Chains A and B, each alone.
Chain A
């Protein structure tokens, strides 16, 4: 390929629209603006779009999935800020899955972290073009023009012109030079960091008009419900449909073979027997009436309680030592004044978003159209191309609203099912999982066991830290026989333990997987957050020190990590959230009889969180009274949405601590619906107090970081309230809820 001279000014392009409006296209990728040239016959491919119509309507194309984090509102307000748009004219359009939009994978709490700067720059660019258009119209210098609230003002005369009235003129404006694009000063912000007046989707939510995946409708569409093997990767031996055919509305029964993804990518599908009907209910009934004999396969040996014992025995022996190594823990233990050991366990968990997995697919004329609630539409698209042989451009993934996701809807299995069925029956068909399907055939958060051993010297200083952990890895879902925890999982709190201890050793113990393992909101940070925060508390008790003072000392000197990172770890920010949580919770004040406070801190997705929980314990029953959470995520866009995420994370963490347990018997998941996989409900919901740290740091994660500290903050509080140390979750296993 010929070498192309990159021109900085060409990252934006203006298109005329058929409607007479204006489309700004800009190419951004992750943290930096990628520059493309319009010359040399290379077509410029924008991936961030803003449309301005003559009536002033401003449409921002959002290429991230909305699942409750408020991304459609946040992205729109970030662009509106530097564009000086009036919020009442702002709407969003959801992008389809397409690599031209750059990375669309909505997980890892990264959208605002990676997109805030380019989005603001895009807004500022559009503002400058509108100011230049006004300058041209008035024949005055651009320095005399100032955009404000959807108008450009002539500073000397006070005359104003509406954004919509600048559309024609703007088409004639040359793209401004990069160095002329100036971002707004923080003190002038109207949207960023403020409470946004109206969430983009608020009215739809309040009137039942938001279109979730499950709401996709076509005339004469079919509905499908699939019976899948109770044991993971089992297959159909035989089936009888006579009782199914009796159901009014059932049209046909189709067997689906398992689709095994190539190693290292995609999700495939489990296969099973699908009942196609003309409504959801009949499909459900038809499925219930199937008589299927299953070939269970090798995973029928999986009994999760027994497996827990196996994991515990493994972490009680030496395992694979993984970097970073520091000092010599054996020596530290030998020379210690006190040695403390503890073993912690947590079961499998499932996401259980309120909207079950579902997808509508329509295969016709060599094309495949999908309407589905997906976090990662490009992977879905690539996966359909891989399994069904469509050209990528013949596949359209319409991203619907997600009724919760929490990582479940990052996996494309339910879409693959719908495409396979539509291809077979040659009709638009919506695959709808029942809640039982969702609880019993998920990609589960891993069951886990941790052994921690620590030593204290005479002064109560921690001298040694051994952390052994075992859980089936997410990697096992992509590469069979992956029997050890992957580096990226250990990097979520284990190998990047924030404490300043002279001798540290981390060990990775074997754990096979017998279920599909996946990621769930904050992933293995849930495990490290519980283990480390529980154990530090035990060390603090052994050293007879206040739990917060002990942590502050253990964090060591203020310093910023020198590791290569877009946002290097800064221990002073972790200390700061801890001190803020101390203040917020009135730590140390006298509490009523039977009440106790517990604290936990965690650094994840580049954000810093401290959580204090107040519980009361009466006749062995725990009530969570208050949760105090402090978040430092750097600069944030929608203040109220961030607080809402922290409140939600507190409830999410509480649900898994109190009730969260998926268990298996002979390979099959024992839980089935919300009666036996329970959630925190309003009657159990505590008061939640959130404080956001205000600073000028780069934006970091919000959706997930609130979850990891909650479990240990609760169990540490239980210890302080009752003297009982809970080392295995959930609390319902101990009769405490």
Chain B
């Protein structure tokens, strides 16, 4: 608990988490407002459509999570950290936990905020959260952000440079996973198992077809797992990366 408190103090006494949190919330909720404001009778706002901005928030949260660790390397405060807490695994796990929790909270606020603003703007639209899909589409975003933050911290530990870690994360999630799909024959099979595509399956997968047209929400995932195993797969990927990162950090000179 002490270590968690320490990492919480460290995180909130710098500026980038605040910036990132504000930016992630503003853009996701703003996007939902835009969607609700521009909805019409022929394309009414749906729960899925309120969450259009979630991919943007995901990027910002991953940048925040990566910076939380890479700035420690940049300013060598990682050495002060390991001096105060020589058990590196414990120190880094505490940081990962705090960053992941913050990311999850940002995700929940972003998701429910987006949904909330849409219900305010379009009070007549059917935005009641009824089905498991609808709950996952909103509440599930916090879980995706949380595990994505674990991945980002792990990449940050491995790469140690802000620029490098951010580039790897953003290019991987927003470009490389999609580019791989374009490889003939095998591309689609590989893509089905790429982590962020699978995470997307958790949020968008298994929709109620009567309530949702494809164009009314974030594009669907082509992952073959059903939603909850998809989340487990994504979490498993995050844990594997984290274990690699912790092992490397323990071996390496600080």
A and B interact: no
Using a CB–CB cutoff of 8 Å, the interface residues on chain B facing chain A are none
